C-alpha cells in the first residue's frame, strides 16, 4: 500500500502545523492552568474549515474525507490534546451522526452551523450505569402529542456546555419488548436536543486530571420536550447507528493519540540535544537515545495502524477490527511515550508548563474514551473467532 500523502493532504498538514505552532502553542499552558475553553482558537479553526473537513460542500463542508480530519487531529494533538479533542468530538460525535442519519431538513438546519465551527454539538450516550454497556441506559423518551418528553441524566459529555454549544444528540429508551426467554429488550433511539430547550441543564464542569481546556459536563434532562421530528434516524436504531459512528471515530481518536505520541518524541529530541549533564548533551547517552528511539518506533507503528484503518474505511471495505487495533496501539503508544518523555525531562517533566507533562496527564483518557482498551480487545478477539 502507498502511504504517501497527496499534495492536498500534505498542504493541509503544513497549514495545521503552522497554525498549531503560531496560534495554539502560545496559549496552551494558560488554558490548561485556568481550565478555560479556547474560544479564539476554536473560532480560527472554524475559519480554516477544520470542522467541515469530511463534509460535503452543500452543507458548508470542505468536501474532504475522514483521513483529512485525522491528519489535522494528529498535528493539533502534538501540542494540545484539548484542542484536538474539541475538533474530534465536534466532528465525529457532534456533526457526523446528523450527516449519516439525519433527514434533509435536519442536515440543512444543523450542519452549516456545525461545519463552520460557529456552533458545537455533543453526543449524550454515557450514563452512570451505561457506557460500554448500552443496555444500562435509563434515560427515557415518551411520545406525547407530537413531542418527545425526555427524562434522564448523562455523564462525560464533550462540547455540551460552552457558550457556542447548540445541540446534544441523546440516546434514550423509547420502548420495550419481551424476548422469548422473558427478558426485556430496550428500544434505544437517538433524539436531537437543542441546548436551550427548557429542562436541559449542563451541570458544572468536571474537575479533570487532563484535557483541562476541553469542555465536559454531566447533563440533566428533566421533562425536556422536543418535536417528534427531532428523532435522528430510525426509531429503535439509535445505539446500532452510533456503533457505526464510533468505528469511524476510533480511527480519529487513534490519529489524535498518534499526535500525542509523536509530540512526546519531538519534544524529547529537542530537550535531549539542549540539556547537558556531566559535560555533554543527555541525548549522547544510550539510556536516553534508546528510550527516544523506542518512542519513535511506537509512534510510527501506531500511525501505520490508523492509516491502514482509514484506507479500508475510505475504500468501502470492512474496517471495524482495524479501527479497534489502531485505537489500542495508538492509545498505548501515547501513554507509554508520555511516561518516557516525562522521564527524559526529569524534574521539568513534572512541571505543568511543559507540554510533556500535559501529555502525561492527558494521554490516560485515550485508553478509555470512545471505547475502552478492553472493549477494543473484545472486538478484536471476536474477529478472531474468540467470543
Report the alpha-carbon distance of residue 324 to residue 376 in Å, rounded. 5
Range of the domain at 49: 7-120
305, β-bridge pairs: none
Are the beta carbons of 362 and 210 closer than 8 angstroms?
yes
CATH of residue 30's domain is 1.10.540.10
CATH of residue 167's domain is 2.40.110.10
Q: What is the pTM of this model?
A: 0.96
Are 254 and 364 part of one and the same domain?
yes
Are 170 and 213 part of one and the same domain?
yes
In a domain, 339, yes or no: yes
Are 359 and 248 part of one and the same domain?
yes
Are 129 and 113 part of one and the same domain?
no
Are 204 and 259 part of one and the same domain?
no
Q: At residue 90, does pLDDT exceed 80? A: yes
Q: At residue 227, does pLDDT exceed 80? A: yes
User: Domain boundary at 210, 237, 264, which?
Assistant: 237
In a domain, 1, yes or no: no
Q: At residue 184, does pLDDT exceed 80? A: no
In a domain, 329, yes or no: yes
pLDDT of residue 342: 98
Report the alpha-carbon distance of residue 190 to residue 172 in Å, rounded. 6
Are 341 and 273 part of one and the same domain?
yes
In a domain, 208, yes or no: yes
Are 171 and 286 part of one and the same domain?
no
Tell me the three-class secondary structure of the chain, residue by residue. Answer: CCCCCCHHHHHHHHHHHHHHHHHHHHHHHHHHHHCCCCHHHHHHHHHHCHHHCCCCHHHCCCCCCHHHHHHHHHHHHHHCHHHHHHHHHHHHHHHHHHHHHCCHHHHHHHHHHHHCCCCEEEEECCECCECCCHHHCCCEEEEECCEEEEEEEEEEEECCCCCCEEEEEEEEEEEEEECCCCCEEEEEEEEEEECCCCCEEECCCCCCCCCCCCCEEEEEEEEEEEEHHHEECCCCCHHHHHHHHHHHHHHHHHHHHHHHHHHHHHHHHHHHHHCEECCEEHHHCHHHHHHHHHHHHHHHHHHHHHHHHHHHHHCCCCCHHHHHHHHHHHHHHHHHHHHHHHHHHHHHHHCCCCHHHHHHHHHHHHHCCCCCHHHHHHHHHHHCCCC
Portion of the chain with pLDDT greater than 90, in percent? 90
Are 259 and 333 part of one and the same domain?
yes
Residue 385 pLDDT grade (very low, low, confident, very high; cuts 50, 70, 90)? very high
pLDDT of residue 1: 66
In a domain, 228, yes or no: yes
User: Domain boundary at 120, 136, 169, which?
Assistant: 120
CATH of residue 352's domain is 1.20.140.10
User: pLDDT tens-digit profile of 133-164?
Assistant: 777 899 999 999 999 999 999 999 999 999 99
User: Domain boundary at 59, 88, 120, which?
Assistant: 120
In a domain, 295, yes or no: yes
In a domain, 2, yes or no: no
Q: At residue 93, does pLDDT exceed 80? A: yes
In a domain, 106, yes or no: yes
Are 230 and 167 part of one and the same domain?
yes
Are 253 and 232 part of one and the same domain?
no
Report the alpha-carbon distance of residue 379 to residue 237 in Å, rounded. 20
Are 127 and 247 part of one and the same domain?
no
Are 217 and 244 part of one and the same domain?
no
User: pLDDT tens-digit profile of 28-51?
Assistant: 999 999 999 999 999 999 999 999
User: pLDDT tens-digit profile of 310-349?
Assistant: 999 999 999 999 999 999 999 999 999 999 999 999 999 9
Report the number of distinct structural domains present in the chain: 3
Please state the rounded mean pLDDT for residues 62-73: 96
Indicate which residues carry an active-site annotation.
Answer: 370
Q: At residue 252, does pLDDT exceed 90? A: yes
Amino acid at each position: 500500500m502507498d502511504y504517501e500523502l497527496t499534495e492536498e493532504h500534505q498542504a493541509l498538514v503544513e497549514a495545521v502545523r503552522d497554525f498549531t505552532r503560531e496560534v495554539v502553542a502560545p496559549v496552551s499552558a494558560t488554558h490548561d492552568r485556568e481550565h478555560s475553553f479556547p474560544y479564539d482558537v476554536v473560532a480560527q479553526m472554524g475559519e480554516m474549515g477544520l470542522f467541515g473537513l469530511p463534509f460535503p460542500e452543500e452543507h458548508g463542508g470542505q468536501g474532504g474525507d475522514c483521513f483529512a480530519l485525522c491528519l489535522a487531529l494528529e498535528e493539533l494533538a502534538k501540542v494540545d490534546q484539548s484542542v484536538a479533542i474539541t475538533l474530534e468530538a465536534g466532528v465525529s460525535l457532534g456533526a457526523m451522526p446528523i450527516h449519516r442519519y439525519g433527514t434533509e431538513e435536519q442536515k440543512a438546519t444543523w450542519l452549516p452551523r456545525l461545519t463552520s465551527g460557529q456552533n458545537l454539538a455533543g453526543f449524550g450516550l454515557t450514563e452512570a450505569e451505561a457506557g460500554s454497556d448500552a443496555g444500562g441506559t435509563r434515560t427515557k423518551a415518551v411520545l406525547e402529542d407530537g413531542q418527545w418528553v425526555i427524562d434522564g441524566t448523562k455523564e462525560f459529555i464533550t462540547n455540551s456546555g460552552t457558550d457556542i454549544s447548540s445541540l446534544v444528540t441523546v440516546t434514550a429508551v423509547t420502548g420495550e419488548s419481551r424476548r422469548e426467554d422473558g427478558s426485556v429488550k430496550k428500544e434505544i433511539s437517538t433524539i436531537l436536543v437543542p441546548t436551550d430547550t427548557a429542562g436541559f441543564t449542563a451541570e458544572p464542569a468536571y474537575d479533570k486530571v487532563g484535557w483541562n481546556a476541553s469542555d465536559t459536563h454531566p447533563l440533566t434532562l428533566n421533562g425536556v420536550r422536543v418535536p417528534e421530528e427531532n428523532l435522528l434516524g430510525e426509531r429503535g436504531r439509535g445505539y446500532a447507528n452510533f456503533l457505526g459512528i464510533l468505528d469511524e471515530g476510533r480511527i480519529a481518536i487513534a490519529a489524535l493519540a498518534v499526535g500525542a505520541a509523536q509530540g512526546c518524541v519531538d519534544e524529547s529530541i529537542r530537550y535531549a540535544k539542549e540539556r547537558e549533564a556531566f559535560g555533554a548533551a543527555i541525548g549522547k547517552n544510550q539510556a536516553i537515545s534508546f528510550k527516544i528511539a523506542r518512542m519513535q518506533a511506537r509512534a510510527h507503528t501506531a500511525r501505520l495502524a490508523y492509516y491502514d484503518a482509514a484506507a479500508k474505511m475510505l475504500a468501502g471495505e470492512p474496517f471495524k477490527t482495524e479501527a479497534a487495533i489502531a485505537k489500542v496501539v495508538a492509545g498505548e503508544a501515547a501513554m507509554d511515550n508520555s511516561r518516557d518523555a516525562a522521564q527524559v525531562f526529569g524534574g521539568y517533566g513534572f512541571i505543568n508548563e511543559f507540554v510533556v507533562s500535559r501529555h502525561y496527564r492527558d494521554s490516560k483518557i485515550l485508553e478509555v474514551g470512545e471505547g475502552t482498551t478492553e472493549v477494543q480487545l473484545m472486538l478484536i478477539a471476536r474477529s478472531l473467532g474468540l467470543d
